[in-house]
Amino acid sequence: MLKNITLGQYFPGDTVVHRLDPRIKILVALLFLVAVFVVRTMWGFLALALLFTLIIALAKIGPVTILRSIRPLLFIIIFTFVLNILFYSGQTIYWQWGFLTISKEGIEKAVFIAIRLVLLIVATSLLTLTTSPMQLTDGMESLLSPLKKIKFPVHEMAMMMSIAMRFIPTLVEETDRIMKAQTARGAEFDSGNLLKKAKNMIPLLVPLFVGAFKRADELALAMESRCYHGDEGRTRMKVLHLKRMDVWALILMLAVSILFMVFL
Amino acid sequence: MDKVIDAQNIKYAYPTIEGTEPKLALRGVTLTVEQGQFIAVLGHNGSGKSTFAKHINVLLRAQEGTLTVVGLDTADETNVWDIRSHAGMVFQNPDNQLVSTVVEEDVAFGPENLGVPQEQLRDRVTEALRAVGMEGFEKRAPHMLSGGQKQRIAIAGVLAMHPDIIVFDEPTAMLDPQGRAEVMDTIRYLNKEEGKTIVLITHYMEEASEADRVFIMTDGVVTDEGTPREVFSHKEKLEQAGLLPPLATQVYYDLKEKGLELGLCPVTLKELVDELCRLA
């Protein structure tokens, strides 16, 4: 079961959306985020929702997958929704109890913000569902590369990110192994109150961390012996190439988003 | 023939906490390897064999004595990257030496670091994966592969740098018998077909018996060297090093004790079987 964990929430596929250059996708996702904040009317939200639905359909992502990506943040959405209803003081009041008021404006505001949050999540999920973590890192590295001029360690950060992704499954497997080993020795991981539970984690975390440091040490040696010495003089097998398709996608999305932002 | 590794009396002590007496891990190792040779370094835990291996591609630097690799002096700071590109190293734990989440990108990591032009990288990866018998696994994730497969990916990663020498530091210690066989087949292929000089650090006698030359290390010095047959017949020296001869050789000695002498001291099971058949 642990062998099958996916990294991030990448949904493999071979559609137009999947094939787009990761840099373009990152830029478009940013553009969408701005659009979601700038658009002020329900018509604007509807237009954006339609646009996102179109892209989801193009990427052949099932509606269930999209809904699943909203689930972890459902609590925050409901929480802000309730807060907005109860604490927004509007003109047309339906119900009042102390400082809690339910007003027409409050409900409107709450619905507005809830939709905005959902659209934000969908916009970012569109990026992470159709772009592998590796591509995302490469895209980020490429987009941030101008920062190298001011000595910002762009390459090092991208390398760290990709190594972290490489080791997630390895460490998950190790956690599983240590847990079984400690359970065999009588350790309990899911009994007692919160404090007890936290204490119970110590025999799991200590060996996990010691192991991780040992791995890091060995990996550093292995990388050094394969002549890794930073970004300088390094070539890449996979270089990101902008295709005509990418440019058109960017122009089209830019035009549509600006249209929405200006008129809706 | 050319000496590609020439170690003369090298000594090394790991850094210690201040105040304690540093213990020498290498107490004067002298060892030479010729171009295209397959050598095995055998030794007990703590004999210094892995420490020696790390000297060959300058992960550690000798504190005394001299070591030249492909004619380059390891004491010279400016030679470090050059030496590492000529002498690759495969480590014990396959999980801790793979860098990327995709096989082909991992194999490309070494040559990318060397600055190999982009248009040649793809060919290098394909060629290296073919040599280790892992073609078709380009897009796979390393953590989904078996230990033996991961170790072969690690070998491909080194191979793609086109080294002359490949040092294997107990490459089979963490593998199951099948993985061990896969890795040994690969090592044999690299030596015989691709002409790579192989340094195999191991504590498996059976693996060492395939080498052209075997070195026994005990407590940081080389105590014996020669062909596998020579070395395995020096029973006392092996015992001093805390090692047992391989099964085939052991049987030879046991038979000899009982008064039956075979014509040849066998080092592999196949040789033993051949000798026994000759008796009948």
Q: Are A119 and A29 in contact (CB under 8 A)?
A: no
Per-residue tokens: A37: 């904040």
Instruction: Say what the alpha-carbon torsion angle B107, B111, B113, B118 is, to the nearest 10 degrees.
Output: -110
Tokens of A72: 């972890």
The verdict on a CB contact (< 8 Å) between B142 and A166 is yes
CB A2 within 8 A of CB A169: yes
What's the first-to-final CA gap in chain A, in angstroms?
47
Please, which pLDDT band fits residue A8 given cuts at 50, 70 and 90? low
d(CA B229, CA B226): 8
Question: In the predicted model, is pLDDT for residue A90 greater than 50?
Answer: yes
Q: Which of B14, B78, B82, B95 to mutate to test the interface with A (most CBs of A within 10 A)?
A: B95
More confidently predicted of A92 and B29 = B29
Torsion of CA A88, A89, A94, A96, to 10 degrees: 100
Residue B168 confidence class, pLDDT cut points 50, 70, 90: very high
CA distance A14 to A201: 42
Q: Does this model's pTM top 0.90?
A: no
Given pLDDT bands bounded at 50, 70 and 90, which one contains residue A86?
confident
| Residue in chain A lying closest to B85 (CA) | A227
Mean pLDDT, rounded, for A191-199: 82
Q: Is A212 within 8 Å of chain B by CB?
A: no
Whether B52 and B29 have beta carbons less than 8 Å apart is answered as yes
Q: Which residues of A161-191 are buried (b: 16+ CB within 10 A; e: fewer)?
A: bbeebbbebbeeebbeebeeebeeeeeeeee
Q: Per the structure block, which two tokens stand in for B110? A: 């070494």
Q: Which residues contact B107 (CB under 8 A, 6 or more apart)?
A: B124, B125, B128, B129, B153, B156, B157, B160
| Comparison of pLDDT for B259 and A52, the residue scoring more | A52
Partner A contacted by B120 (CB < 8 A): no
Complex confidence, ipTM: 0.88
pLDDT tens-place string over residues A148-158? 889 889 999 98
Contact A226 B104 (CB under 8 A): no
Nearest to B209 by CA among B238, B261, B246: B246
Residues above pLDDT 90, as percent of chain B = 60
- Terminal-residue alpha carbon distance, chain B: 42
The DSSP annotation for A62-106 comes to -HHHHHHHHGGGHHHHHHHHHHHHHH---SSEEEEETTEEEEHHH
CA–CA distance, B93 with B208 (Å, rounded to integer): 20
Q: Residue B18: what residue type?
A: E
Size of interface A-B (CB pairs under 8 A): 93
Q: Minimal Cα distance from B144: which residue of A?
A: A3
Residue A234 contacts B where some CB pair is shorter than 8 Å: yes
What's residue B249's pLDDT?
Answer: 87
* pLDDT at B240 exceeding the cut of 50: yes
Which of A3, A219, A236 lies closest to B144 in CB terms?
Answer: A3
User: What confidence category does residue A67 fall into, taking pLDDT thresholds of 50, 70 and 90?
Assistant: confident
Mean pLDDT lowest among A196-200, A256-260, B35-39, B91-95: A196-200
A236 touches chain B (CB under 8 A): yes
Question: Between these two residues, A95 and B181, which has the higher pLDDT value?
Answer: B181
> Is there a contact between B30 and B228 (Cβ–Cβ < 8 Å)?
no
By C-alpha distance, the chain B residue nearest A239 is B118
